[in-house]
Amino acid sequence: MTIQASIIGGSGYVGGELLRLLSYHPQMKISKVYSKNYAGKYVHSVHPNLRSILDKTFTNENIKDIVETSDITFFALPHGQSSLIIPHLPYDNSKIVDIGADFRLKRTEDYERWYHFTHPAPSLLEKSVYGLPEINKEQISKSCLVAVPGCIAACAILSLLPLAINGLIDKVVVDAKVGSSGSGSKPSSATHFSERYNVVRIYKPAGHRHTAEIIQVLSALSGKNINVGISVHAVNMVRGLETTSHVMTERTVDIKDLWRMYRQYYAGKPFVRIIRDIRGKNKYPDPKFTFGSNYADVGFEVDTDSGRILAIGALDNLVKGAAGNAVQCANIMLGLREEEGLLSPPIYPA
Amino acid sequence: MTIQASIIGGSGYVGGELLRLLSYHPQMKISKVYSKNYAGKYVHSVHPNLRSILDKTFTNENIKDIVETSDITFFALPHGQSSLIIPHLPYDNSKIVDIGADFRLKRTEDYERWYHFTHPAPSLLEKSVYGLPEINKEQISKSCLVAVPGCIAACAILSLLPLAINGLIDKVVVDAKVGSSGSGSKPSSATHFSERYNVVRIYKPAGHRHTAEIIQVLSALSGKNINVGISVHAVNMVRGLETTSHVMTERTVDIKDLWRMYRQYYAGKPFVRIIRDIRGKNKYPDPKFTFGSNYADVGFEVDTDSGRILAIGALDNLVKGAAGNAVQCANIMLGLREEEGLLSPPIYPA
Amino acid sequence: MTIQASIIGGSGYVGGELLRLLSYHPQMKISKVYSKNYAGKYVHSVHPNLRSILDKTFTNENIKDIVETSDITFFALPHGQSSLIIPHLPYDNSKIVDIGADFRLKRTEDYERWYHFTHPAPSLLEKSVYGLPEINKEQISKSCLVAVPGCIAACAILSLLPLAINGLIDKVVVDAKVGSSGSGSKPSSATHFSERYNVVRIYKPAGHRHTAEIIQVLSALSGKNINVGISVHAVNMVRGLETTSHVMTERTVDIKDLWRMYRQYYAGKPFVRIIRDIRGKNKYPDPKFTFGSNYADVGFEVDTDSGRILAIGALDNLVKGAAGNAVQCANIMLGLREEEGLLSPPIYPA
Amino acid sequence: MTIQASIIGGSGYVGGELLRLLSYHPQMKISKVYSKNYAGKYVHSVHPNLRSILDKTFTNENIKDIVETSDITFFALPHGQSSLIIPHLPYDNSKIVDIGADFRLKRTEDYERWYHFTHPAPSLLEKSVYGLPEINKEQISKSCLVAVPGCIAACAILSLLPLAINGLIDKVVVDAKVGSSGSGSKPSSATHFSERYNVVRIYKPAGHRHTAEIIQVLSALSGKNINVGISVHAVNMVRGLETTSHVMTERTVDIKDLWRMYRQYYAGKPFVRIIRDIRGKNKYPDPKFTFGSNYADVGFEVDTDSGRILAIGALDNLVKGAAGNAVQCANIMLGLREEEGLLSPPIYPA
């Protein structure tokens, strides 16, 4: 049986990445690719990598019809749009994976605070499930509406999870470095090549919206309110995301204990790799080694002198940070093997 | 039935790329990975992208034994090494794909001229088949020793083929631009990051060894001696190769005729895409849109003013320029579908 | 005595480069910086490198007044604009350096052919002087209107000059590789970082406008009509330009003769360096080693096999390819030493 | 009067940068350039940017003689070497600027702890002066041995200084991002282009040696022991350094107060620019806008939610982070204007 998969918002980089992944998914078939702006145009005119691979045009037919005739529908729309659409769909009888921010947070006040946005469908916030299978695979498998995490949140949470669960985090500073693809496909003066090349640009030193997700998830997991500060830097690459999370702690923690916590937590989780080598090419997580893949690499270090545990995360922001994680969630919702269609290794060197 | 595939020379970038491709090939299984220098070490210590994907160590056991117990063996050794080994193997009863230069040329004098090298096994040059399925798929299917083209040769030949066959080439200048991965994984002062970044370095203005292959193939296809000059430039990227071939001609050629020639030649060839758009993101071949894939993009233009036909080629030097093309040949030799394990789309944006 | 220098069109990258160079020119003082769009804004808001260095705002006052009160005025406007303005200025009593294309060509029909543009002031084409001091320093010193060459033309001409003068060129193919700054500061989908990174994009395989300049200059120097074809590639860097010019010739030429021709021609020319080393870091011209400076590096090679002489050129497209060359011309027009304010070495490594 | 300046250790990137800066210093003349390995070779064979600019060869003559015949001598040797040489020189009658680490720390136990190194000349540690003119210009002017700060230390200290002096720092985490030139000119597998491209590689999560300097300086300035943790990341560029320093504080601090502190401290300091804009191209310090120059950009932000003050610093690691700062110190020691030879603006775009 072939699963019909559709995409609402197929012209952006996340939409393109979904198409790339689904085009060789062994059990899903791409049904409809919705785009208001590009309706009628060839998909490969926007995503030239897919030329001769995906012979489809964008459609702007009724979204409700698309959802009703698809087994799974991915939403990859700008923030604030899916929450205007999804409440009017037969979501209870469908399977929807939303890659935007609209259903990630549980409390409407958090949308007001972090997004300056009055949520139009608060009741759906209870129904939706946060789509990080490394935390809540079971819930995802039963859900009809899954909200895929933000890329920085996914990276920070995955690297910090074992520490949170073991009660080691009270206050953490997440210092993130991201490639340009995270800011989308629309040109602007900030993303003009001559302006963006060679930067280390701290574009969001405080108040980044993903903070809300990290607080929500880590606090829930550790059973206490965790203080989280994020600072995000644009660096000179297209793909990839790294988070160095500085956990402030007076406690003395042993590297062996950390190994145990991480190993224990991530046993059997197919897409998380623990990276901590004394020598060699890859001592700590580095997005270079996750390029184009659904792997999230996590690692840790202890700095006794300054009273820090470091949790380091690296992933491909468009794959495990967005489209790949979405497909992983979809696999789970559809009763497939979690890894289906997602096992191609990272591209190296890249 | 699972096919046992082994690699002789598994620690370089081409070896790593073979491992990446074979690790998710639906019908091949990686058997042995030979490396003299890294024997006993984990494969992922050299190719960190494969961590948790390929749980193998390098071996230095007898190469003859490896070949005899494998259904297909890939050689990815530095120039001059495979021709010392293969003649002593039971090559007639095996299937060998050599990614080095040792069996590409047909005439020993060409090895002397271009490689300053006395070929140790001239008789094998008759047996070996040039491994470009877009030319000689039939021959490859019957061969036990296939020599995969050099990356620049593959790119130039694929883009020039339809012109050669139609007798349009007498003299051509190939201006190539290549990423750093083409020069291998050994550090040197020329590849030190601070020295290699931001270069447009013409490192081989004349006399590049791949010239010999291009002359051999294009002359055979067009039935006349073709004059070929190559100039190769290192540019600021890791993966990717572009060739702009300037075909000098007094003849007036029509774009429509060129379309016809390219379409006709490449009909049914799964890995060659013809790129020539008036507008959009991808008007002519650009390695950006072949990243990580086995596609070779080809295109053309006419410059009446200066008396040139331009043939433009782009591919990923490690895939269609080496390991991917080798797997494609192996598929054919083994009676599999040519595309098996090679259809994952290019990564974009990258 | 301080020379008052003004800039018409100060907000683009060439305008910014003029400001950078003039800000530490020992004898010129920046008087007015005209910009229609940014009038009233701080110069450093557009050129952040100049913060705390140049305490000026853009002006939109009358251009005629600016020219009349300045000792030298640089025009850095988009093509087609300066030829609408300069005819109405008292150009005979002023000194004007135009970095646009409007006064480079001598024949109005060339504007029609290459620029699809009816020149509004043909009589000024006779008065204006092509601003390449390595050819016509004397003429520049007597001129009141100098037209600075296009960057690709400057690079190709400087590398080909000694060959042209010695009658060695009949037909030449110029294969150019350029950084992103050459396409200006306005964002577009083609220059969006995620789209422009890692490209080798042949954006102008034939018919590039700079062809007209190269034909005009080389034909004049060699006393015969020279056939010129240009193909231009965008590569992955911001600054820098390389041209590999393939001169088709049946003649046998000796490297020693070429050394003599280049040495002879460039003796006493302060900004041209001849690069041709057998070993070391810099065997042929590479824009890496001209970064941020007014140097143009030229070199050559002979390919007897394919019947080519190669002339290789490299420069910083914003300096010797635009603003630096403009200042060099201005120095000459003003009776200063040609090198004044231009001798800071290239930045390396960059 | 021309000042004779010599360099001990002229073949590395810092040595090359000294040569670049000194080659157009209006009052210094390059006398001797010492290199053990390259003696007899042309300087431009190692630093190709200086071809035709600096017509000198490296020397290996007696260092004592060089120092005695020079007005100022710069040492740019690997850590641990200058402290074996300088004690045997007539340092009291000379002026020496050491760009290595050997004389930066005041306490021998700090060398043992952070460098695992028994200092061979403890008495000289009292005589040497830490070479950051923004702190101790007066002391530098009277010193005969100045120790230039490490690049990360310089960047972090300059951005944190006003906070330290105002007692706002107790605990700070410095998250640094550096270009490849900081790791020198010797090739290694870690700096091989294909390995170093596209990385966000945390190569020193804890225990970086520059920590010692930052603790020493900030603790002295603030009159209390400051807790400092550093994590250093290699990012995809050659030049440039950014530090985001997360100051943990419960205190409520006002942006206006921070403005006042930074303005007050840096008034009259020519090379520090305060960057904090609400809009525009350059809202916070970014090494992109300091490229090739001696400027250090500093900025700040407050994150009330997480209890942080952020101090952001950016500079060119080879200029203000090494050679430029060394020349600035030399100017002061020699009684010249601090800015002499250092005012060329940053290169932009780069």
Task: Give the whole-angstrom CA distance, residue A21 versus residue A40.
Answer: 22
DSSP state of C115: I
The answer to whether B347 faces chain C, any CB pair under 8 Å, is no
CB spacing of D195 vs A281 below 8 angstroms? yes
- pLDDT score of C92: 85
Q: Check CB contact under 8 Å for B238 and D197.
A: yes
End-to-end Cα distance, chain D: 36
Question: Is the alpha carbon torsion for A289, A290, A293, A297 positive or negative?
Answer: positive
The 10s digit of each residue's pLDDT in A23-62 is 999 999 999 999 999 999 999 999 999 999 999 999 999 9
**CB-CB under 8 Å, C23 with D350:** no
Q: Which SS3 state, helix, strand or coil, does residue D126 take?
A: helix
Mean pLDDT of chain C: 97
Q: List subunits contacting chain D, requiring 3 or more Cβ pairs under 8 Å.
A: A, B, C
Collect all residues of chain C within an 8 Å Cβ-Cβ radius of residue A350: none
Tell whether D142 is within 8 A of chain B (Cβ). Answer: no
**Distance of alpha carbon D326 from alpha carbon B74, whole angstroms:** 55
Are C265 and C298 in contact, with CB atoms under 8 Å apart?
Answer: no
As a whole number of angstroms, the distance between CA D306 and CA A32 comes to: 44
Amino acid (one-letter) located at B94: S
**Residue A48 in contact with residue A39, Cβ under 8 Å?**
no
Question: Nearest residue on chain D to A234, judged by CA atoms?
Answer: D286
Residue ranges of E strands in B76-211:
96-98, 129-130, 145-147, 171-178, 200-204
Nearest CA in chain B to D180: B194
> Quick check: D350 and D291 in contact, CB under 8 A?
yes
Give the nearest partner residue to D244 out of A231, A283, A350, using CB atoms.
A231
Q: Which of residues 146-185 of B touch A (CB under 8 A)?
A: 181
**How far does chain A reach from its first CA to its final CA, in angstroms?**
36
**From its phi and psi, is residue B84 left (phi > 0), alpha (psi between -120 and 50) or beta?**
alpha
d(CA D31, CA D8): 11
Residue A118: count other Cβ atoms within 10 Å of its Cβ. 9
Q: At what angle do helices A133-142 and A324-333 cross, to 10 degrees?
A: 40
Query: Which residues 236-275 of C have a C-beta within 8 angstroms of B?
Result: 236-237, 239-240, 242, 244, 246, 248
Q: Which positions ≥6 away from B220 have C-beta within 8 Å?
A: none
Query: Is D151 a residue of the active site?
Result: yes
Q: Which domains does chain B carry?
A: 3-149+319-333 (3.40.50.720), 152-315 (3.30.360.10)
For residue D298, list its beta bridge partners: D274, D313
Q: Are B191 and D193 in contact (CB under 8 A)?
A: yes
Q: Do A207 and D286 touch (CB under 8 A)?
A: no
Q: Which helix (H) or strand (E) holds C48?
A: none
**Residues of chain D where predicted confidence (pLDDT) is lower than 50:** none
Torsions phi, psi for D135 (to 5 deg): -110, -45
Q: Catalytic site residues of A?
A: 151
Inter-chain touch B350–A239, beta carbons under 8 Å: yes
Task: For A218, list phi and psi in degrees, rounded to 5.
Answer: -70, -35
What residues of chain A lie within 8 A of the CB of C193, using their CB? 180, 191-193, 196-197, 238
Size of interface A-D (CB pairs under 8 A): 171
Environment class of A169 (CB within 10 Å of its CB; exposed 0-12, middle 13-18, buried 19+): buried
State the smallest CA–CA distance between residue B125 and chain C in angstroms: 24
How many B×D Cβ pairs under 8 Å? 51
Which residues, at least 6 apart from B166, have a Cβ–Cβ distance to it below 8 Å?
B261
Identify from D14, D46, D194, D236 which residue to disrupt to test chain B contact, counting B C-beta atoms within 10 A and taking the largest count. D194
Chain C CB within 8 Å of residue B25 CB:
no
Question: Quick check: D288 and A200 CB within 8 A?
Answer: yes
Test the D interface: residue of C30, C52, C185, C262 with most D CBs within 10 Å = C52
> How far, in Å, CA of B283 to CA of D293, rounded?
39
What phi, psi does D308 have (nearest 5°)? -130, 145
Nearest-Cα residue of chain D relative to residue A304 = D206
- Establish if B29 touches chain D: CB-CB under 8 angstroms: no
- Tokens at C3, concatenated: 């020379």
CB contact under 8 A, C23 and D345: yes
Which of C301, C338, C302 lies closest to C320 in space, CA to CA?
C338
Chain centroid to Cα D5, Å, comes to 19
Q: Closest to B239 (Cβ–Cβ): which among A54, A181, A350?
A: A350
Query: Among the options B144, B151, B155, B329, which is catalytic?
Result: B151
* Interior angle at CA C23, CA C20 and CA C29, nearest 5: 135
3-state secondary structure of D168: coil
Q: Supply the pLDDT for residue B91.
A: 82
Residue of C nearest to B171 (CA): C306
CB-closest option in C186, C197, C238 to A238: C197
Contacts of B12 (CB under 8 A, 6+ apart): B76, B184, B185
Degrees (nearest 5) of the Cα angle A26, A27, A31? 110
Beta-carbon separation of C187 and A185 below 8 A:
no
Enter the tokens of residue A114: 């972090």
pLDDT at B191: 97
pLDDT of residue B92: 85
Q: State the nearest Cα–Cα gap between A59 and chain D, in angstroms.
A: 36
Which residues are CB-contacts of C300 (< 8 A; sequence separation ≥ 6)?
Answer: C159, C163, C255, C258, C262, C276, C309, C310, C311, C312
- Residues D199 and A272 sit within 8 Å (Cβ to Cβ): no
Q: Which two tokens stand for residue A29?
A: 């078939």
Please give the Cα distance from C157 to C167 (Å, whole number): 14
CA distance D91 to D95: 7
Window A:208-237, CB contacts with C under 8 Å: 237
DSSP H/E element including D234: strand D227-235
Do residue D291 and residue C350 have CB atoms under 8 angstroms apart?
A: yes
Closest residue of C to B306, CA-based? C229
Number of other CB atoms surrounding residue D81 within 10 Å: 15
Query: What mean pLDDT comes out for the span C94-114?
Result: 97
Given a cut of 90, is residue C91 above it in pLDDT? no
Contact check, Cβ <8 Å, D200/A235: yes
Distances (CA, A) of C53 to B65, B263, C18, C327: 71, 58, 14, 19
Pair of tokens at residue A169: 């985090």
Nearest to A201 by CA among C235, D282, C50: D282
**Which residues lie closer than 8 Å to D342 by C-beta, 6 or more apart?**
D21, D271, D294, D324, D327, D328, D331
C53 touches D: beta carbon within 8 Å: yes
Ranges under pLDDT 70 in chain B: none
Chain D interface disruption, residue of C14, C49, C262, C318, most D CBs within 10 A: C49
Residue A1 has pLDDT above 90, yes or no: no
Determine which of D43, D52, D295, D319 to mutate to test the interface with C (most C C-beta atoms within 10 Å): D52
Cα separation of C139 and C123, whole Å?
18
Contacts of D49 in chain C (CB under 8 A): 289-291, 293, 345-348
Cβ distance A123 to A205 under 8 Å?
no
Closest by CA position to B292, among listed B319, B270, B273, B274: B319
Indicate whether this model's pTM tops 0.80: yes
Output the 3-class SS for chain A.
CCEEEEEECCCCHHHHHHHHHHHCCCCEEEEEEECCCCCCCEHHHHCHHHCCCCCCECECCCHHHHHHCCCEEEECCCCCCHHHHHHHCCHHHCCEEECCCCCCCCCHHHHHHHHCCCCCCHHHHHHCEECCHHHHHHHHHHCCEEECCCHHHHHHHHHHHHHHHCCCCCEEEEEEEECHHHHCCCCCHHHEHHHHCCCEEEEECCCCCHHHHHHHHHHHHHCCCCEEEEEEEEECCCCCEEEEEEEECCCCCCHHHHHHHHHHHHCCCCCEEECCCCCCCCCCCCHHHHCCCCCEEEEEEEECCCCEEEEEEEECCCHHHHHHHHHHHHHHHCCCCCCCCCCCCCCCCC
Instruction: Give just the sign of the alpha carbon dihedral B152, B155, B159, B164.
Output: positive
Q: Which residue of C has its CA nearest to A239?
A: C194
Q: Which residues of D touch A228 (CB under 8 A)?
A: 306
* Cα–Cα distance, A131 to A134 (Å, whole number): 9
What is the distance between the alpha carbons of residues B247 and B170, in angstroms, rounded to a whole number? 8
Please indicate whether, in this complex, the C-beta atoms of C348 and D49 are within 8 angstroms of each other.
yes
pLDDT at D92: 85
- The shortest C-alpha distance from A281 to chain B (Å) reads 7
